[in-house]
A and B are shown apart, each in its own frame.
Chain A
Amino acid sequence: MKKRTLQRGLSGFWWLTLVFLYLPLAVVVFFSFNAANSAARFTGFSLRWYERLLGNEQIISAFWNSMVLAIVSSVLALVIGCLIGYGMYRHRHRKLGWLIVLIYLPIVLPDIVFGISEMAFFVSIHRYTGLLQPGLLTMIISHVTFQIPFVALIVYSRLVGLDPTLFEAAKDLYATPFKRAWHFLLPTIKPALISAFFLSFTLSIDDFVISFFTSGPESATLPIYIWGAIKKGVTPEINAIAALMIGAVAIAALMSLLFNRQGQR
């Protein structure tokens, strides 16, 4: 009896928490269809803010910047991080404490400190050498820096989970290290590589602070554009672009759910 009341209370609390978690997102989506330019009163259904989006060149270019940044940085981080992950695995019996510290540094550093360090560094280098002007390139460099550890740790944990005798078998089967890597290693860690890529991509899309401090005048990403628009005064166009980004996340969530389901079967 008592257990039942506890369970019922918990279930109520669970639904309340869900409301808390989704209310802010729902409000953004809801008011993106508002006919009036207001975030407090809903006057009627309209798609005019979405139509306005398509005509807004700044938003379109911000979208492409976000995409280029996320894809290029994730690919680079995948290659570099995968190598580190493999190196950490192969040499896990050695003392690699310095390497672990180095790899955890981007994770534990508060992102504001991360962002301003990069900014100060790039700005100063640019001032003295003319290289590395703040823009898409410096953003890609910074994103790769915080993505590498995640890729490395995912690849490393996949390798540790494998049966060590597999490596011996592969050594007997394939003569050259490259063939071994191509026919054995890469196919075996493919799931880890896929999830590492998607994690890197998500981290890049989610990031605001580090992008903000390393961006140049023409490399604004969607979050940076939205930030600027909020600071200037809220317009419902932001609701529309934000609603689209929330929609993209919802699709990603559904996909990961389906992916999970298939994995369970």
Chain B
Amino acid sequence: MRCGDFRESYLEDEKIFQSTFVKVWLVILLVGLVTLPLFANDYVMYVANQIGFAVIAAVGLNLLTGCTGQISLGHAAFIGVGGYATAVLITRFGIPFWFALPLAGLISAGVGMVIGIPSLRVKGLYLCIATLAAQFILEYVFINWEGVTQGIRGINVPPPRIGSFVFATEKSFYYLTLVVVVAAVGFARNILRTKWGRAFVAIRDRDLAAEMMGIDLFRHKLIAFALSSFYAGVAGGLWVSFMKIVTPEHFPFSRSIEYLAMIIVGGLGSVLGSIFGAIFMVLVPELLNVATGSLKGFFPNLTQIFIPMKEVIFGFLIVGFLIFEPHGLAEIWHRIKNFFSLWPFSY
């Protein structure tokens, strides 16, 4: 019987796959994810794809905000840059999706670095406002740079294809999303164990101390911005290819807030937290929709009350989390895991 881990070195502490047990569960999870389309309908697959895009973008934001401590209110705009870059590269320059997507990530990273420049001078709330400006400037660009973005009408994006196989349905696209999600999560988890990752955390915890230890603040902050925007750009590129259209409506300011909420609910500074947060923020409104939808059947005259109610419930759920579980869903997960791994001899 398993009754806890006994680690003897720091190296073991930082292992991703802590035990065979974890490996087995991860394999089971992966098999579950791969076989999901076999028994799920199009709607479930649609939601699964949305969760995938949210996970990628939330992991990116968590690297910047959760790990490096640089609050960004412009994440939706970076997703937008990636989305538009993908659309323009594919439709205008005829570049295949497979090259357009990483290129879009790089373009988004470039924009992110420019926006990140003020981060050397300003911190906290002040940086918040600087990134907020980025959100509005970029939104303005999406709407008014009609030569490139086609303004409010948006751009139709063809779905990705390999040879004659087109990723046009929710199910086929899901596999594409899954691969990118696994890669993105794996990379983020690993980068936190490197020198860069440690530097990020040092900057978050106390930037002066970090600088005295020889960490180049400006460089690392810019790297964090670039990484985060790269993730956002890739998420945006995938998203618009899935939706087959990109318009400025996709990237409002409220979406930036949503991403912040995702990493706060999930757990700041934790990759697992970003995943949980993304799942929570996408899934719960959908579940509430389904719930209010079925209530509607029993009380047809109260439709007008039930439907807006879901927003209220969602708000309460988030507030509840912040009060009862400030460390986010990741912390709940740890507790459940510990409970089972130590059961029945927990102390």
Do A and B make up one complex? no
Residues of A within 8 A of B (CB): none
Residues of B within 8 A of A (CB): none
